[in-house]
Amino acid sequence: MHIIEPVFTREMRETHTILAPSMAKIQFRILVEVLKDEGYTVKLLENEGPQVVRKGLKYVHNDTCYPALLVIGQMLDALDSGIYDLERTALAITQTGGGCRASNYIHLLRKALDKAGYSNIPIVSLNLKGMHRNSGFRITYKMLRKGIAALVCGDTLMLLKNQVSPYEVHHGKTQELVDSWVRQLSEQYRRGSGYTQREMAKDLRRMVAEFSAIETDYNRPVVKVGIVGEIYMKYAPLGNNHLEDFLASQSCEVMVPGLLGFLLYGLQNQLEDIDLYGGSRIRYAIMGYLKRHMIRLETLMIDAVARSGRFTPPVAFHRTIESAKEVISLGCKMGEGWLLTAEMRDLAEMGYRNIICVQPFGCLPNHIVGKGMIRRLKELDDDVNIVPIDYDPGATRVNQENRIKLMLAVANENRILDRQDDR
C-alpha cells in the first residue's frame, strides 16, 4: 500500500515541536533561538546511550555511514521515549545537496519512520538548494541574516572557550561566560538587533575582551590538539564519544575549525559548478552575495581575535583555498572534500600540530581526503603529528582513547624536546 508522505504545513508552526539532532553545541543553541524568533518551536536532541546505536542499526542499512545511523537512531529513540506528543511532533534535518548521504537523509529517515510505525511524522529539510520544499517552512532573508550572525558569533565563542578553559584558574568560569553570551545574543535577535556588521563588530570586541579578563595560568603543561573530519563526527559528542571532553581530561587545548568555513566551502563549490557547467545566473548572484557577506563577517571575527594579541585567530577562507590548492584539487568536493585536507594544513600553521582526524564508518570521501592525504601532508611537513581515529558501531571507546593517548605521548615528548632546544 502506498503511504502518503506527511508534509510540514504552515499551520504546524503553531502546533508542532520540531526535534533536531544536536551537533556543534554552542552554535546550535543560538540557531535554535533564531528559529524560535521566526515562530518555530525547536528542541535539540541530547539523548544518548547504546539504545541509540541499536535503533539506528535496526532501521538503517548497516552499510550506511555511521553519522546517518546515529542521527536516525537518536530521532527514533526520542520518538519512542514517550516524552513527545506524536501527533504534534516533526523532525528536522540539514541537507548539503552534495554527492553524499547528507543529500539522502530525508529518504533514509522517511523509510526508517515508516518501518518503525511513525508514518505520520513530517520531516523538515534545512537546506539552501531548494531540496524538499516544505509548505510550512521557509528560510527568509531575515532568518538567514540572523542565522549567519549566530554561526559567526557561535564559532567565536567556541574558539575563545577552547583557548581559555584549559588555563582557567577558577573552574567553570569560561562556560559561565559562554552561557551568558548565548543568552545575550538570543535576546538581541529577539529584539531584531545584533546581526548588522556594526553591531556584530561591537559584540565580537566585547566578547574577546571579556574572555581575556578571565583569570588564567599559562604555566600549565598543555598539548595543543586540532580536530578535523566528517562534519557531524567533528562536532557532535554523540558521534565522537565526547572527544573534546576526553581531550580536556588529558590537559589539552583543542582547536576545532568553525562551521562558517564549511558554509563558505559549500558556497565556493556552487559558484565553481556554475562557472564550469553553467546554471542559473540569478542563483550565482545570490550565492556570490552570501559568500561576500560571510567573508566580511569572517574578517570582523579574525580582526577582533587578532587584535587581542592573546588568542589565535582562525585562518581566513581565501588562505584556506590557497593551502588546499598546493596539495589537492578543488574538484575534490564530495563530503568535506578539499576543505578537510586544507583544515589540517591550517591547524598546523596555527600551532596545532597534533591533529585527530575522525573517520566515520561508511564515509568513503572522508577516508580519501582525510586518512588518504596524511602521507602527502607529512611529506610537506614531517613534524606534523596526525592520527586517524575510526568510529563505527563496533569500535570501542577504550580502543579509540588508547590510540589518542599514544598520539599525546608523542606530542608531550616533542614538547619537552622543543623546550630543551629553546634553552
145 within domain boundaries: yes
Q: How many domains does the chain have?
A: 3
Is residue 55 located within the same domain as residue 122?
A: yes
- Phi then psi for residue 368, to 5 deg, are -75, -50
Domain boundary among 139, 167, 196: 139
7 within domain boundaries: no
Q: Which three cell numbers stand for residue 23?
A: 551537533
205 within domain boundaries: yes
Model confidence band, residue 366 (pLDDT cutoffs 50, 70, 90): confident
Domain boundary among 312, 327, 347: 312
368 within domain boundaries: yes
> What confidence score (pLDDT) does residue 367 get?
87
> What confidence score (pLDDT) does residue 20 get?
94
> What confidence score (pLDDT) does residue 97 get?
61
Is residue 278 located within the same domain as residue 415?
A: no
Model confidence band, residue 1 (pLDDT cutoffs 50, 70, 90): very low
Does position 210 have pLDDT exceeding 60, yes or no?
A: yes
5 within domain boundaries: no
Is residue 251 located within the same domain as residue 263?
A: no
pTM: predicted TM-score of the whole model, two decimal places:
0.93
Q: What is the DSSP letter of 357?
A: E
Predicted confidence (pLDDT) per residue in 321-341, tens digit = 999 999 999 988 888 999 999
19 within domain boundaries: yes
Rounded average pLDDT over 39-60:
93
Is residue 155 located within the same domain as residue 277?
A: yes
Model confidence band, residue 162 (pLDDT cutoffs 50, 70, 90): very high
The closest alpha carbon to 363, from 55, 101, 69, 23, belongs to: 101
Does position 46 have pLDDT exceeding 70, yes or no?
A: yes
Angstrom CA distances, 396 to 241, 242, 243, 392, 403, stand at 10, 13, 13, 9, 11
Name residue 125's beta-bridge partners.
93
3 within domain boundaries: no
Tell me the pLDDT of the chain averaged across its residues: 91
Is residue 285 located within the same domain as residue 336?
A: no
Q: What angle do CA 406, 407, 408 make, to 5 degrees?
A: 90
**Percentage of the residues of the chain whose pLDDT score is greater than 70:** 93
Model confidence band, residue 63 (pLDDT cutoffs 50, 70, 90): confident
Is residue 78 located within the same domain as residue 45?
A: yes
The closest alpha carbon to 151, from 68, 32, 44, belongs to: 32
Domain boundary among 107, 139, 171: 139
Is residue 190 located within the same domain as residue 238?
A: no
Is residue 183 located within the same domain as residue 226?
A: no
287 CB-near residues (< 8 Å, 6+ apart): 267, 270, 271, 274
- Distance CA(364)–CA(154), nearest Å, equals 29
Is residue 154 located within the same domain as residue 201?
A: yes
- Distance CA(127)–CA(144), nearest Å, equals 11
Is residue 163 located within the same domain as residue 263?
A: yes
Tell me, what CATH number does 358's domain have?
3.40.50
Q: Give the domain range for residue 66.
A: 12-139
179 within domain boundaries: yes
Is residue 294 located within the same domain as residue 321?
A: no
Is residue 41 located within the same domain as residue 102?
A: yes
* End-to-end CA gap in the chain: 77
